[in-house]
């Protein structure tokens, strides 16, 4: 992934006297406080509000329709095309806008821990706290690397610049636009910092497969014996929580590549959900939040400045951004060997999927392509309660290429490295959302520990009558009845009705995969 020179217009902007390049964390914290962009918490973290947008804006994300990529992108509602003229006009407007700001901030770093394939990036920000966020989330360069750093992609973020849809060709005041030919991402009209993170992930999901590297929306960790585990799942399903295991070293919490040498983290930090966070439940995440961390939309006690992680007044989607080194038990650099265990995480709002089941190869491919979960409140604008959704490959909003491209790569990796695959439901049990309860984290941890340690490879199982999934009958630390969802419902007929309703949704969703081997659908999907 070769770097390119910065366009002249941007070079001129970066040479202005009001541009702060590569400020340190203490400098950025001081600047944030002086500009009244955030408050210092009792632990030294910076608490900020993202205004009216407390989640991503997927309907405002576009890819420029350019000659070199137009036949490769999976165009549609998730990868919306926009013209080069629209991008160019907004690009110059945003640069002109930034030139008028009293101060702007620049971070230079990398995406991808594997130095053979990492992408040099630079982030240009209107807000100092956004630059601190980039400093915490992406891979920081050494002083030597900084001397020769030439960005291969640039993010330009101007939250206070609002687009005019009638004039600028956008859908709203907000825009996130990727130009692969100009190697630039434009972001405006939203203060939600996660747009920067996910935009870089989106371009890596194009660039890595083009280099024969499987890009993945997953967390990863490694055991004492060198065994590697991957955790796939959308926001809120438990990727960050479950991969932060004190008994295993963390490789990364959200984005990875899988090359011929093994897996590597794309990022240099973590972006953890903090709603209901406590040291008791998630000690690694809780203790990682200290000086320089960024807390998004977390309510503070005005007197003590202590964060109230149980307060969802602003949003359910409260977040903490902190660097990898804030966690003691990590792999440095963030690279490891080939995975032994792969876990698909889903938060089933129907309450009918088993808490854990071992998948055959066909089932693994089916559920990877399906990417079923429940979209949780606050993750996107307008989502106020869990909604059943199918996000292809557990990351459809961030995948520019056709789903079959990623699925094919996963299938090849599973076969080549003989990885065990499990489907784990971290959602509801004993009834659907509003009736049942969320699966206990202690149960989920016990089940995953059993899977990672190989205890489920040869245990007695029962086949689910509707989904055809193989469910273990006994797992230490988990009540037997919890393992079989039909036994947790007070009304068996209500369970059957709801399970068949979800099975029908799986079948309907899978119809869109017209070029998939029929065996995957026949042997991998629901059986009733």
Give one DSSP letter per residue of 370-422, joined into a string.
H-EEEEPTTSBTT--S-EEEE-GGG-GGG--S-HHHHHHHHHHHHHHHT-EEE
The predicted structure's pLDDT at residue 310: 97
Domain-by-domain residue ranges, the chain?
Answer: 8-37+56-210, 214-269+333-524, 271-326
In the set 56, 248, 375, 381, the catalytic residue is 56
Residue 235 among the catalytic residues: yes
In the set 240, 315, 346, 391, the catalytic residue is 240
Residue 511 among the catalytic residues: no
The predicted structure's pLDDT at residue 384: 57
> How far is Cα 266 from Cα 110, in angstroms, rounded to an integer?
9
Task: Read off the pTM.
Answer: 0.91
CATH superfamily, with its number, for domain 271-326? Phosphoenolpyruvate Carboxykinase, domain 2 (2.170.8.10)
DSSP 214-229: EEEEEEEEE-TTS-EE
Q: Which CATH architecture has domain 8-37+56-210?
A: 3-Layer(aba) Sandwich (3.40)
Contacts of 208 (CB under 8 A, 6+ apart): 112, 117, 214, 215, 257
Residue 373 among the catalytic residues: no
Residue 319 among the catalytic residues: yes
Residue 93 among the catalytic residues: no
Residue 517 among the catalytic residues: no
Q: In the chain, which stretches have pLDDT less than 50?
A: 3-5
Fold category of 214-269+333-524 in CATH: Phosphoenolpyruvate Carboxykinase; domain 3 (3.90.228)
In the set 235, 237, 315, 341, the catalytic residue is 235
In the set 197, 217, 273, 367, the catalytic residue is 217
In the set 108, 140, 239, 381, the catalytic residue is 239
In the set 198, 248, 358, 381, the catalytic residue is 198
In the set 60, 114, 253, 254, the catalytic residue is 254
The predicted structure's pLDDT at residue 4: 47
How many whole angstroms from its chain centre is CA 257? 13
The predicted structure's pLDDT at residue 7: 62
Residue 504 among the catalytic residues: no
Residue 239 among the catalytic residues: yes
In the set 108, 319, 358, 498, the catalytic residue is 319
Residue pLDDT, tens place only, 14-53:
888 899 999 999 999 999 999 999 999 999 999 999 999 9
């Amino acid at each position: 992934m070769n770097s390119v020179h910065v366009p002249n217009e941007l070079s001129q902007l970066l040479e202005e006297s009001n541009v702060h390049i590569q400020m340190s964390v203490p400098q950025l914290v001081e600047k944030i406080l002086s500009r009244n962009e955030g408050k210092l918490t009792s632990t030294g973290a910076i608490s900020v509000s993202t205004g009216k947008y407390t989640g991503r804006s997927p309907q405002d994300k576009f890819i420029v329709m350019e000659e070199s990529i137009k036949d490769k992108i999976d165009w549609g509602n998730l990868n919306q095309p926009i013209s080069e003229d629209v991008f160019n006009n907004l690009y110059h407007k945003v640069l002109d806008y930034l030139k008028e700001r009293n101060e702007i901030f620049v971070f230079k770093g990398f995406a991808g821990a594997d130095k053979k394939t990492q992408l040099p990036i630079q982030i240009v920000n209107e807000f100092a706290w956004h630059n601190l966020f980039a400093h915490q989330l992406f891979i920081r360069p050494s002083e030597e690397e900084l001397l020769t750093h030439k960005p291969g992609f640039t993010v330009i973020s101007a939250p206070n610049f609002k687009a005019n849809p009638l004039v600028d060709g956008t859908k709203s005041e907000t825009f996130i636009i990727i130009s692969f030919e100009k190697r630039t991402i434009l972001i405006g009209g939203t203060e939600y910092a996660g747009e920067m993170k996910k935009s870089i992930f989106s371009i890596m999901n194009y660039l890595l497969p083009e280099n024969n590297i499987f890009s993945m929306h997953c967390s990863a960790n490694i055991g004492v014996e060198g065994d590697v585990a991957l955790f796939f799942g959308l926001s809120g399903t438990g990727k960050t929580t479950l991969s932060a295991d004190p008994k295993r070293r963390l490789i990364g919490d959200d984005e990875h590549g899988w090359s011929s040498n093994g897996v590597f983290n794309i990022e240099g930090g973590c972006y953890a959900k903090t709603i209901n966070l406590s040291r008791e439940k998630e000690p690694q995440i809780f203790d990682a939040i200290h000086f320089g961390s960024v807390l998004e939309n977390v309510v503070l006690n005005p007197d003590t400045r202590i964060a109230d992680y149980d307060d969802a007044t602003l949003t359910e989607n409260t977040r903490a951004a902190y660097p990898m080194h804030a966690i003691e038990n990590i792999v440095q650099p963030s690279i490891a060997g080939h995975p032994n265990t792969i876990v698909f995480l889903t938060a089933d709002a129907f309450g009918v999927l088993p808490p854990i089941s071992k998948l055959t190869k066909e089932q693994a491919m089916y559920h990877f392509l399906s990417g079923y979960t429940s979209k949780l409140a606050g993750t996107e604008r307008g989502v106020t309660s869990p909604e059943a959704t199918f996000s292809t490959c557990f990351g459809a909003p961030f995948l520019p290429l056709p789903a079959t491209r990623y699925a094919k790569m996963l299938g090849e990796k599973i076969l080549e490295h003989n990885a065990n695959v499990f489907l784990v439901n971290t959602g509801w049990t004993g009834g659907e959302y509003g009736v049942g309860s969320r699966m206990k984290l202690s149960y989920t941890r016990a089940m995953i520990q059993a899977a990672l340690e190989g205890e489920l490879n040869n245990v007695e199982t029962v086949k689910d009558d509707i989904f055809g999934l193989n469910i273990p009958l006994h797992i230490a630390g988990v009540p037997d009845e919890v393992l079989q969802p039909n036994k947790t419902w007070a009304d068996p007929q209500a369970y059957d009705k709801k399970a068949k309703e979800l099975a029908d949704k799986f079948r309907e969703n899978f119809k869109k995969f017209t070029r998939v081997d029929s065996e995957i659908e026949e042997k991998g999907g629901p059986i009733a």
